[in-house]
Structure 1
């Protein structure tokens, strides 16, 4: 069974399309008739614009997963709820959406009008969102805390919303549960503004775990992708911009 992962929010967007690139991260996962949105990006209006142009009905989203308490990943949730009528399960870090979001607020929160549309879930540990779509426990360090999404399709795929400590934590969590490393790493790894030796270390993380399908975006930055390609080859790393679709 194939799974489909579509980038709906990123700094880059496919050329010659109406899609908009903007700071933030969000992808749509589709498997066996279920749709899960991982993260929401930063700005409501860009999320709405890209969903409309990708012809993704917000009502068709069956669950939302928020990987971390970082604005790039979580602030546009209230905007998504504006586009819906029915409630939706939202798996989020505990307390992240406890506050209210006003009309002119740049804070992370949920407006009073949308509070009834969200079923906040703060489940710990491994969480099966739907069969074949599983949320990992939190990886925590001095850099922060984040979770990853594992998607079982024709391949074993892991999705990262930021990758604060590189790709290894996500891949190692996958190994703990599945006794194998993921075939594909989709999404972000924090390489922007980091020096070349860090890219070399992360390239080793990928190659030593035989993860050979790498689709990167968000905070990796263009220089980060090029530095990884120095070690993994020109075709070893692909961009995953808004509008890009991965199947596997």
Structure 2
């Protein structure tokens, strides 16, 4: 599994543009998903181009929640590459999608790819199962990291957590994980890094995580 952060508040590769928002490309053996689309289509597509990511290779878009910094680039992407969109039921249907799946309950998207279901009537997280463990990708973790991990656990033992964690400070939850990559809106990145230096993975646009 290969996860490439395409859009983030900071950059990993200096040739890319940073901006408030989040998006990452998730490549598995069978499918390629774009998780969220950042705030601005021009930045999303520009970073993708610099990373050598062809929009036509994206099988589907997974939207975590209906906030501007996660859906802002969706229209631009669908304009050049209409594809399927999996989104929480709280989101209005986007124009240009080949198929829109409105998610309320936990569900399988593709083989070994799942949604936690819409949590707290706002947000879903992505779970990718690999062998006997799972990777969780969160947009902003509005329902709470503990709630997300509990919902994701049904799909496998959680190895890695990636994405925006907002004000998350129940750091003991990290002890259950092999690694954590706090990105975007996470308020306590430095504290996570200090407490768990061996489990911490730095984020930033252009960062590639292979699991």
TM-score (norm 2): 0.91
Aligned to 2:49: 52
Query: Which of 187, 192, 198 is the matching residue for 2:163?
Result: 187
Report the number of matched residues: 210
SS across alignment from 2:18 = coil
Cα 1:116–1:148 change in 2 (3 A) is closer
Task: Please report how far the alpha carbon of residue 165 of structure 1 lies from its aligned counterpart in structure 2 after TM superposition.
Answer: 4.3
Task: Please report how far the alpha carbon of residue 117 of structure 1 lies from its aligned counterpart in structure 2 after TM superposition.
Answer: 4.1
Q: Cα deviation per residue 1:3-48 (whole Å; 9 max; x = unaligned)?
A: 1111011011124x32111110111111113101111111111001
Residues 39, 71 of structure 2: 8 Å contact kept: yes
Correspondences of 1:1-248 after superposition (within 5 Å): 3-15=1-13, 17-84=14-81, 87-94=82-89, 96-98=91-93, 110=94, 115-140=95-120, 145-153=122-130, 155-175=133-153, 177-178=154-155, 180-191=156-167, 199=169, 202-207=170-175, 210-221=176-187, 224-232=188-196, 234-248=197-211
Q: Which one has the largest radius of gyration?
A: 1
Residues 171, 181 of structure 1: 8 Å contact kept: no
SS across alignment from 2:85 = strand
Residues 216, 239 of structure 1: 8 Å contact kept: yes
More helix by share: 1
TM-score (norm 1): 0.78
Q: What is the RMSD of the two structures over their aligned residues, measured on CA atoms?
A: 1.9
Can you give the 5+ residue segments of structure 1 that lack an aligned partner in the other structure? 99-109, 192-197
